[in-house]
Every structure is written in C-alpha cells, then in structure tokens.
C-alpha cells in the first residue's frame, strides 16, 4: 500500500496544486493542519490523501473535464482497496462539503478564489438549507467539512514543511483494514 501511494506522489507530487503550491506540499500541509487540530488518525490520513484522485492513473490525461471533477470519487475508490470508511468517506465527501460551507456561511463563500467559485458552479453551487440538513445526516459529513477547511488553508507558499510523506507511513499502515494488512 505505502509503496503504491508513494509512487503516486513520486510521479505527480511536483505538479501544481492551484496557483501556489505543489500537490505534495498541499497534501502534507493539509495533514499537518489536521494533526495540529488533534484530528483522529483516519481523518489525518484522509487529509493527507484527499486529492490522491488527481494522482491516480485512471483520471490522468483525460480530456473530459467531468473526470477531474470526480477526483474525490476516484480517490475514495482507490483508497478503499486498503482503508476503512473513516478514511475514504471524508475524501469522497470533501468536494460536496464545499457546497455545504458555501450555503451555510456567506463569509466562507467570500474567501473563495475565482477558480474555486467557478468549480463550485460546475459542482452544483451552494447548498440550499434543506440540502444542508440532509447532508449533515450523511455519515462522515462533519469529518468531510473539517477536512474541507484544512484543504482550503493548505495553500501556504511560505509554510516550511517539517514533515514528509514518510512521516505518515506508520499512521497509514496502522489504518489498513485487517483483511488487507
């Protein structure tokens, strides 16, 4: 498992994430923020790997923009080979969580970059109050919302990274489902 994930980061980690940081920096910053806030081990793993769908071969090089919008689904499916729902569900829901936050907090919407507002529209726009209530009944919705906030903050060009992917190896291995470990 770890070797395969490291392979994804080796091949695609240096690609840009948005305007300012690489995929690797983004992933490590996101996991660091989760860990600083005392998140559970599965949620730290989810934060680290939430964009792995961008690094998985099946969605790479596709010309279909819908594929890119589905990176949360391909990522969750990929991680589901080894990890339980505590890891995969926050990953799968982290894009929908943006729609929740935009509907729930006007101030959150105001922080979005133009690119992020554009993708929000493609994803269906801010959630209505009804849709928000519905979303909160989904298992792992709150974890996905927490992940989304770290995701948004994990774009800091000046942040020195104290941790590498290797530092999360043990944590990832400890989370593998017993039947595949």
Return residues touching Fe ion (CB under 5 A).
51, 151
Residue number with CB closer to Fe ion (51 or 89): 51
Residue number with CB closer to Fe ion (114 or 178): 114
Residue number with CB closer to Fe ion (91 or 172): 91
Residue number with CB closer to Fe ion (103 or 151): 151
CB of 26 to Fe ion, least distance (A): 6
Asked if 29 and 154 touch (Cβ cutoff 8 Å), the reply is yes
CB of 117 to Fe ion, least distance (A): 16
CB of 50 to Fe ion, least distance (A): 6
Task: Find all residues with CB under 8 Å of 6, minimum gap 6, and list them.
Answer: 165
- Nearest residue to 171 via CA among 14, 55, 52, 32: 32
Residue number with CB closer to Fe ion (20 or 134): 20
Say how many C-beta atoms besides its own lie within 10 A of residue 148's C-beta: 22
153: its two tokens: 């903050």
CB of 106 to Fe ion, least distance (A): 22
Asked if 83 and 176 touch (Cβ cutoff 8 Å), the reply is yes
Over its C-alpha atoms, the chain yields an Rg (Å, rounded) of 16
CA distance 25 to 16: 9
Give me the residue whose beta carbon is nearest to Fe ion.
151
Beta pairing partners, 21: 17
CB of 71 to Fe ion, least distance (A): 9
Task: Find all residues with CB under 8 Å of 8, minimum gap 6, and list them.
Answer: 52, 55, 56
């Amino acid at each position: 498992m770890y070797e395969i994930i490291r392979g994804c980061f080796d091949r695609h980690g240096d690609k840009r994430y948005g305007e300012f940081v690489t995929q690797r920096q983004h992933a490590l910053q996101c996991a660091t923020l989760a860990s600083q806030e005392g998140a559970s081990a599965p949620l730290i793993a989810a934060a680290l790997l939430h964009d792995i769908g961008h690094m998985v071969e099946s969605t790479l090089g596709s010309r279909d923009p819908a594929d890119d919008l589905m990176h949360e689904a391909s990522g969750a499916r990929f991680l589901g080979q080894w990890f339980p729902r505590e890891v995969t569900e926050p990953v799968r829901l982290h894009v929908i969580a943006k729609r929740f936050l935009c509907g729930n907090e006007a101030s959150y919407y105001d922080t979005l970059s133009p690119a992020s507002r554009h993708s929000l529209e493609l994803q269906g726009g801010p959630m209505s109050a009804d849709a928000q209530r519905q979303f909160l009944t989904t298992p792992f919705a709150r974890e996905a919302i927490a992940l989304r906030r770290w995701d948004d903050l994990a774009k800091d060009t000046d942040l020195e990274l104290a941790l590498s992917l290797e530092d999360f190896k043990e944590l990832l291995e400890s989370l593998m489902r017993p039947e595949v470990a």
